[in-house]
Chains A and B, each alone.
Chain A
Amino acid sequence: MTRFIAKRCLYALVSLFILSVTIFVLIRVTGDPVTLLAAPDAKEADLQAIRVQLGLDRTWPVQYLHFIVGALQGDFGTSLYYRVPAGTLYLQRLPASLQLAAAAMAVSLLIGISIGILAAVNVGRWWDSAGKLIALLGLSMPSFWLGLLLINFFAVYLGWLPTSGRGTAAHMAMPAIALSGYFTAAHMRLTRSSMLDVLGSEYVKLARLKGLPESWVLVKHAFKNALIPVVTFAGINLVLMINVAVVVETVFAWPGIGRLLFEGIEFRDFPVVQTVVLLGGVMVIVANLLVDILYAWIDPRIRL
């Protein structure tokens, strides 16, 4: 078991290394932040002075080493745009992203699973079609469109909810719904098919033959077993959600890391981009690592 964990940790480190080098190179290859920081008509000498000041005149391997060494000590460099430590910026904005993702995940699971179960139990009938329709809406509506429609209707027209920003639970309602769209549909479909699988299984057939009430069959067996693949899927989706949240964050002025990364790229704010991608990657890879270890612990066959 220990060997397994050690191997997996090593793999995680390799992934992180590949990730950090990739982002490091990508952002440097795509442009020079100094032109954006200085006045449009600044002379070349001025630009060079800024480069030296920011340490951008050194060779890439040197800059990379500097970054990694600093990162290991918790210093991720200073944002070129904000002039505050990149690590601080990330940690300041992370809770907002996590909060939004958690809310959106909750919405998608709540609605997705309920409708999925209803659809499976009523397969072929009205609820099934309604479920399919809702799934379609979620899958085919880009989140920015959904978000703007929600703002127009609930905030401007009805005045029930605040338009944007982060604050109370009311502020979170629309962004969470807009973000959850796709995932609600995905979870609904998975629940439905998983539920249908289970409902057609031997165990359930046997229970029905025995004459047990339908509700007991559903709750005691079908429900729990149907949810296993959904929950696994949801775990992977959580990461995806944080990644695609940038669109919702832009529309609702939600102060998350998606928007931080996007603007960082626009301004070629190297430290911010490197930090967000690296720390985000750490979260993803560590999460994967934990899941792998958990599975291996439950099922020894996987350790091979």
Chain B
Amino acid sequence: MRASTIPFGWSPAWHRVRARTRGAPLVPLTIIGVVLAAALFADVLAPFDPEIGNLRHRHRPPAWVAGGDSSHLLGTDHLGRDILTRLLYGARISLIVGFTAAIVAGAIGTAVGIVSGYFGRWIDQVIMRVVDAWLALPAVSFAIFLAVLLGPSEKNIVIILAGVFWTRYARVIRGEVLSLKEREYVRLAIVAGCGKWTIMRRHILPNVINTSIVLSTLIVGVVIVAEAALSFLGVGVPPPKPAWGLMLADGKEGMMAGYWWVTLFPGLAIMLVVLAANLLGDWLRVKLDPQLRQL
């Protein structure tokens, strides 16, 4: 940046931040911002109760369609609950479940990947055997068993989803660590006598964290869609919570009867969040390390 463009008083550090964030993707950030706002302010914004409906107002269409009224802007579902309200409250669930599951899966998977990749030899083999067995177990059956053992609840769904997806991280991170081990500065650190854990913490982790973050943005989208699939099978977030995936699954029969709004709006919501997460991931990938293309 030329000196003449530096506003009076701004420090060089700030310039570095600005340079880094130039070209920040507005679209995904806006979408995420809106969803976040919905999640935070649902209590204030929502006109109705998300879990209790009036049976006599079942399947009212959106306000702009014949038969709809302005009190239910986006219509009602099969139990007479307001769709807009449920979308707003559902943002909370989708964000919490999606992000938490991705972060937990990322944390576990990255940790396991680092340990496995760094130590190598028999530790690596044992961990990879467990990962293999885990991957061979059909995710759906695993999800159902956990749902039965732990009982369906939001917390448990996060556990289930994290339990299914951590292996994705483990494999990828392990691969990266294997190649990182051969790098100059890591070898130097070993020669210098740094402890194993110190090396992992100071040299390996910061270098793989970018991969984890980028992978997480992809996984968030997958997790949100997976929640819908689990709800369809009956083992997702328990009713009457307004999780978007559950709204979609509940409304599937309404589709046949022409009640398109019960599925379209939660479906669009899911699509927008997945879009945002993926665009963000793309941008981050380019920004942080162009080598991450294999993700």
Contact = CB atoms under 8 A, between A and B. Distances in A.
Q: Do A and B bind each other?
A: yes
Nearest to A23: B137
Nearest to B218: A139
A202 to B, nearest CB: 16
Interface range on chain B: under 10, 10 to 19, 20 to 34, or 35 or more?
35 or more
Given A14-B129, A143-B229, A193-B293, A284 B135 contact: yes
B125 interface: yes
Interface residues of A, number: 51
Contact of A148 (B135, B137, B245, B252): B252
A116 interface: no
A244 interface: yes
A281 B136 CA distance: 5
Interface stretch (B5-13, B56-64, B202-210, B268-276): B268-276
B129 A15 contact: yes
B68 to A, nearest CB: 22
A194 B293 contact: yes
A211 to B, nearest CB: 28
Contacts of A243: 138-140
Contact of B233 (A194, A196, A250, A277): A250
B228 A18 contact: no
Interface stretch (B18-26, B41-49, B143-151, B153-161): B143-151
Given A18-B129, A30-B148, A247-B232, A141 B136 contact: no
B136 A15 contact: yes
Given A136-B271, A258-B140, A144 B229 contact: yes
Contacts of B252: 144-145, 148
Contacts of B225: 139-142, 182
A15 B133 contact: yes
A197 interface: yes
B121 to A, nearest CB: 10
Given A136-B275, A194-B293, A247-B233, A30 B145 contact: yes
A154 interface: no
A262 B145 contact: no
A61 interface: no
A285 B225 CA distance: 27
A148 B255 contact: yes
B233 A246 contact: yes
Given A18-B129, A262-B144, A140 B275 contact: yes
Nearest to A142: B228
B275 A29 contact: no
B249 interface: yes
B138 A261 contact: yes
Q: Which applies to chain B's interface (DSSP): helix, strand, loop or mixed?
A: helix
A234 interface: no
Nearest to A287: B136
B259 to A, nearest CB: 12
A194 B263 CA distance: 36
A26 interface: yes
Contact of A19 (B137, B149, B245, B273): B137
A30 B151 CA distance: 11
Contacts, number: 128
B141 A277 contact: yes
Interface in A75-129: none
Interface in A174-216: 182, 190, 193-194, 196-197
Which of B136, B137, B274 has the most chain A CB atoms inside 10 A of its CB? Answer: B136
A131 B141 CA distance: 33
A193 B140 CA distance: 30
A149 B232 CA distance: 15
B232 A144 contact: yes
A268 B222 CA distance: 29
Given A139-B221, A144-B229, A246-B233, A277 B149 contact: no
Nearest to A21: B133
Contacts of B229: 142-144, 244, 247
A152 interface: yes
A93 to B, nearest CB: 14
Contact of B232 (A26, A136, A142): A142
A51 B129 CA distance: 35
B255 to A, nearest CB: 6
Contacts of B293: 193-194, 196-197
Nearest to A232: B294
Interface string B267-295: 10011011100100000000000000110
Interface in B108-167: 125, 128-130, 132-133, 135-141, 144-145, 148-149
B105 interface: no
Contacts of B256: 148, 152
A136 B267 CA distance: 13
| Closest CB pairs A-B (n = 10) | A140-B274, A281-B136, A142-B228, A193-B293, A140-B271, A284-B136, A18-B133, A30-B148, A19-B133, A243-B138
29 contacts: A15-B129, A15-B130, A15-B133, A15-B136, A26-B145, A27-B145, A29-B149, A30-B149, A139-B278, A140-B273, A140-B275, A141-B225, A142-B232, A142-B245, A142-B248, A143-B229, A144-B228, A144-B232, A148-B252, A194-B293, A250-B232, A258-B140, A265-B141, A276-B138, A277-B137, A281-B133, A281-B137, A284-B132, A285-B136
